[in-house]
Structure 1
Amino acid sequence: METSRVKPGFNGAGAGLDGSSRRSGYMGGVGGPVATGGRAAPVDACGVALRVFVLAATLVAAVVMGVDRQTRTIQITLADTLPPLQVPVTAKWSYSSAFVYFVVANAMVCVFSAAALAACRRRGAVVPVMVGDLLALALLFSAVGAAAEFGILGERGNSHVRWARVCNVYGAFCERAMAAVIVSLLAAFANLVMLMLTILAIHKNSSYY
């Protein structure tokens, strides 16, 4: 007698066609029982911890960069016979489009992380949360890259276009900006790990493969 070659899930022996096992895996029920009816999905403590870390790290990065400002007084000599002028100059995050993008991107990811935590028990929010995680990951890495490039330019300058380095003057400003970039980079890697665990959980709980 020829045995059936239909994979579980199509003949009713495995998970249903509604994908309930995959949804439970994404919401945190890795290998756990699938909730039925109106019951909420189980929550994975590791996934929640990673999302809380992303929320806190992006909030810290946005705040540190958003309040970063330093004013220094420099001397400008107009002529050898005149005394030098004392001119106050200010470095501020809003003067750089890269830093503005960094603050906005981290603030958006922070707000999304809070919304995702609030919706983690709702099965209908699985697909929107996954799409949002992918967008948040792209935002964080792009913002970190833009801010880090501008920071390296301020630290080293660019002799090819005759741009002088400024971090020798605004040392505290550059240090705070780099700290914010590092914290945001950690949040990006945490978001990446969370997405990888999510994909593995969906694959493990799926009966189609």
Structure 2
Amino acid sequence: METSRVKPGFNGGSVDGSGRRAGYMASGSAGSGSGRRTPVGDACGVTLRAFVLAATLVAAVVMGVDRQTRTIQVTITDTLPPLQVPVTAKWSYSSAFVYFVVANAMVCAFSALALAACRRRGAVVAVMVGDLVALALLFSAVGAAAEFGILGERGNSHVRWAKVCNVFGRFCERAMTAVIVSLIAAFANLVLLMLAILDIHKNSSYY
């Protein structure tokens, strides 16, 4: 009696229904009996995503409430006494800071949606694409806000822009804190995305 032969598959395993490995989407979904982790649903991923949510929320709030009013002296002529003029520094006066607040708020909202959808079967690809967009938003927003902050700290003598952080010190300190927190969130999002890619690479049938 001849033993039935099974033709080997692409990766050396059998191609019958019981031995076929799951593809890209199956590696990202948590089957009831497979025991595989999902890139968006494991404990480390959930912790990192919760951290990104909290950090971007803090960065957006800190920058959004950043405001300082100082009274400066303006001399018109030498014969007249200097005028006391109140001047306000606010985040909404800078397009870079406005973009920073909006970008962090968007990433915070996406992180909340991703946490809610992390157990859905087909959410892996959509969440990874969202993570890529969130990563681009965070790094670009941090770069724009940091560049404007450096300009306020040091000025630019070539275009005769005076520094303002010597006057609005508290405003600049809060803005710098928000930028640092957002930068940490960006790196956490990068680690989250790398872990998801490595998990799919490990569970994929093509490698």
Q: Residues 136-155 of structure 1: matches in 2 within 5 Å? A: 136-155=134-153
The alpha carbon displacement at 1:78 in A equals 1.1
Q: Is the 8 A contact 1:137 1:191 kept in 2?
A: yes
Q: What's 1:66 paired with? A: 64
1:15 matches 2:21: yes
The alpha carbon displacement at 1:18 in A equals 6.9
Identical amino acids, percent of aligned pairs = 77
Q: Residues 91-110 of structure 1: matches in 2 within 5 Å? A: 91-110=89-108
Q: Is the 8 A contact 2:23 2:204 kept in 1?
A: no
- Count of paired positions: 198
Instruction: After superposition, give the CA deviation of every residue in 1:52-74 in whole Å (9 maximum; x if it has no partner).
Output: 00000000000000000000000
The alpha carbon displacement at 1:47 in A equals 0.5
TM-score by length of 2: 0.88
The alpha carbon displacement at 1:183 in A equals 0.1
Name the SS of the counterpart of 1:43 in structure 2.
coil
Instruction: After superposition, give the CA deviation of every residue in 1:125-184 in whole Å (9 maximum; x if it has no partner).
Output: 111111100000000000000000000000000111111100000000000000000000
Distance 2:39 2:158 in 1: 57
Q: What's 2:77 paired with? A: 79
Name the SS of the counterpart of 1:91 in structure 2.
strand
Distance 1:77 1:198 in 2: 60
The alpha carbon displacement at 1:9 in A equals 6.9
Q: Is the 8 A contact 1:15 1:207 kept in 2?
A: yes
TM-score by length of 1: 0.88
Distance 2:61 2:14 in 1: 51
Q: Is the 8 A contact 1:58 1:187 kept in 2?
A: yes
* Worse-superposed segment, 181-190 or 119-128: 119-128
Higher gyration radius (CA): 2
Point out where structure 1 has 5 or more consecutive residues left out of the alignment. Answer: none
Q: What's 2:113 paired with? A: 115
Tell me the C-alpha RMSD between the 2 structures: 2.4
Q: 1:49 to 1:9 in 2, by over 3 A?
A: farther
Distance 1:123 1:155 in 2: 49
Q: Is the 8 A contact 1:41 1:123 kept in 2?
A: no
Distance 1:207 1:54 in 2: 31
The alpha carbon displacement at 1:77 in A equals 1.0
Q: What's 2:4 paired with? A: none
Q: 1:156 to 1:190 in 2, by over 3 A?
A: same
Q: 1:77 to 1:18 in 2, by over 3 A?
A: closer
Distance 1:125 1:75 in 2: 58
The alpha carbon displacement at 1:14 in A equals 3.7
The alpha carbon displacement at 1:112 in A equals 0.3
Point out where structure 2 has 5 or more consecutive residues left out of the alignment. Answer: 1-6
The alpha carbon displacement at 1:123 in A equals 1.2
Distance 1:182 1:164 in 2: 24
Distance 1:192 1:42 in 2: 13
